Structure 1
Amino acid sequence: MTLSRDANASLSSEPLSSLDVSVVVPVHDEAGAAVTLAREINQAFDGWAFEMIFVNDASRDDTLALLTAAKSELPRLRVLSHAVNAGQSRAVRTGLLAARGGIIVTLDGDGQNPPHEAPRLAKALMDAPASVGLVGGRRVKRQDTAAKRQASLWANRIRKRLLHDDADDTGCGLKAIRRDVFLRLPYFDHFHRYLPALVMREGFENRYLDVDHRHRESGRSKYTNWGRLRASVSDILGVIWLKTRARQPGQIREL
Structure 2
Amino acid sequence: MSYQLTIVIPVYNEADNLLRVEKECVEFFKNASVISKVLFVNDGSTDKSQQLIEEICTRNKDFTFISFKENRGLSAAIKAGFDYTSTPLVGYIDADLQTSPEDFNKLLEYSKDYHLVTGVRADRKDSFVKNMSSKIANGIRRTFTNDGMDDTGCPLKIIHTDYAKRIPMFKGLHRFLPAMILLQNGKIIQIPVQHFPRIAGKANFGLWNRLLGPLMDCFAYLWMKKKYINYTLAKKSNSLGE
| TM-score normalised to structure 2 length | 0.91
| Structure 2 residue runs without a partner (length 5+) | 237-242
Query: Contact conserved, 1:39 with 1:74, CA < 8 A, in 2?
Result: no
Matched, 1:95 2:81: yes
2:59 is the counterpart of 1:73 = yes
What is the identity, as a one-letter code, of the residue corresponding to 1:134? L
How far is 1:227 from its partner?
Answer: 3.1
- Whether the aligned pair in 1 keeps the contact of 2:5 and 2:36 (CA below 8 Å) is yes
- 2:239 corresponds in structure 1 to none
Tell me the equivalent position of 1:121: 107
The reply to whether residue 40 of structure 1 matches residue 24 of structure 2 is yes
CA RMSD of aligned residues (A): 1.7
| 1-structure distance, mates of 2:142, 2:24 | 33
* Cα offsets for 1:126-178 (capped at 9, x unmatched): x31xxx31000000011110110001111111110121112100010100001
Structure 1 residue 247: Cα displacement: 5.8
**Alpha-carbon contact 2:137-2:210 (below 8 Å) kept:** no
Relative to structure 1, is the Cα distance of residues 73 and 248 closer, same or farther in structure 2, using a 3 angstrom cutoff?
A: closer
Runs of 4+ deviating beyond 4 Å: none
Does residue 198 of the first structure (1) align with residue 180 of the second (2)? yes
Matches within 5 A, 1:142-157: 142-157=124-139
* Deviations, residues 84-138 of structure 1 (Å, cap 9, x unaligned): 000111111111211121101100111111111012213320x31xxx3100000
Equivalence map 1:149-228=2 (5 Å): 149-228=131-210
> Alpha-carbon deviation of 1:35?
2.2
Q: How far is the alpha carbon of 1:45 from its aligned partner?
A: 2.1
Provide Cα deviations, 1:202-228, integer angstroms capped at 9, x if missing partner.
111101110000110101110101233
SS in 1 for 2:137: helix
Check conservation: 1:45, 1:119, Cα contact below 8 A: no
Gaps of 5+ in 1: 1-13
Q: Which residue of 1 aligns with 2:240?
A: none
Number of residue pairs matched? 234
After TM superposition, list the pairs within 5 Å mapping 1:240-255 onto structure 2. Answer: 240-246=222-228, 249=231, 252-254=233-235
Counting aligned pairs with the same residue, the percent is 28
Taking the aligned partners of 2:219 and 2:61, their CA distance within structure 1 comes to 43
